[in-house]
């Protein structure tokens, strides 16, 4: 499992807690010679969940069915969330996204919007840079029709 590493307050991954010293007002601060504030790790699975949520925020995007040995279990539908596989390497991420698109939305436009939105949300929420976002459109699904009522 890959991880990304980022500074966090008060802990160094190699040496443990960074010593704090009180200032003249009694507040504790990191010592200047402590070597920096430490690291925060973002796991692949966290990036996958953030990217799946971000992809689902784009109009006309639905989810993909789970697959076992390439065979769909269930159906690709608007009610499911997109499936994402992520590989984190330092501060760079490679993503593989499987989703469905509502017919007759233009697939090229929808996938471009998904790619841009996922890249932006990952950068905003994690500070990671998505260097590659591969998108597979598993199927087209019909728009859900509004319920008909008899007057």
In tens, the pLDDT along 111-149 reads: 999 999 999 999 999 989 999 999 999 888 877 655 555
* 3-state SS class at 29: strand
Identify the CATH number of the domain in which residue 82 sits: 3.30.70.1350
Domain count, the chain: 1
In tens, the pLDDT along 61-111 reads: 988 766 656 655 666 555 678 999 999 988 899 999 999 999 889 999 999
Position 122 in a domain: yes
From CA 116, how far away is CA 149, in angstroms rounded? 39
**Cβ–Cβ < 8 Å for 100, 140:** yes
Position 150 in a domain: no
Range of the domain at 64: 43-142
Position 16 in a domain: no
In tens, the pLDDT along 36-66 reads: 566 677 888 999 999 999 999 999 998 876 6
Position 2 in a domain: no
**Cβ–Cβ < 8 Å for 37, 18:** yes
From CA 73, how far away is CA 26, in angstroms rounded? 60
Position 128 in a domain: yes
Position 67 in a domain: yes
Band the pLDDT of 27: cuts 50, 70, 90.
Answer: low
Position 13 in a domain: no
From CA 126, how far away is CA 6, in angstroms rounded? 9
Position 113 in a domain: yes
Decide if pLDDT at 11 tops 60.
Answer: no
């Amino acid at each position: 499992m890959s991880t990304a590493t980022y500074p966090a307050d008060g802990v160094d991954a190699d040496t443990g807690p960074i010593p704090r010293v009180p200032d003249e007002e009694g507040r504790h601060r990191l010592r200047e010679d402590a070597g920096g504030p430490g690291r925060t790790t973002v796991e692949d699975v966290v990036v996958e969940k953030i990217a799946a949520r971000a992809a689902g925020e784009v109009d006309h995007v639905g989810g993909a069915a789970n697959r076992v040995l390439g065979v769909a279990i269930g159906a690709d539908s608007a009610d499911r969330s997109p499936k994402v596989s992520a590989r984190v390497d330092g501060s760079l991420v490679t993503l593989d996204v499987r989703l469905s698109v509502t017919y007759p939305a233009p697939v090229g436009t929808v996938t471009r919007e998904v790619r841009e939105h996922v890249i932006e949300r990952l950068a905003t929420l994690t500070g990671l840079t998505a260097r590659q976002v591969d998108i597979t459109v598993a199927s087209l699904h019909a728009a859900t029709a509004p319920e008909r009522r008899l007057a």
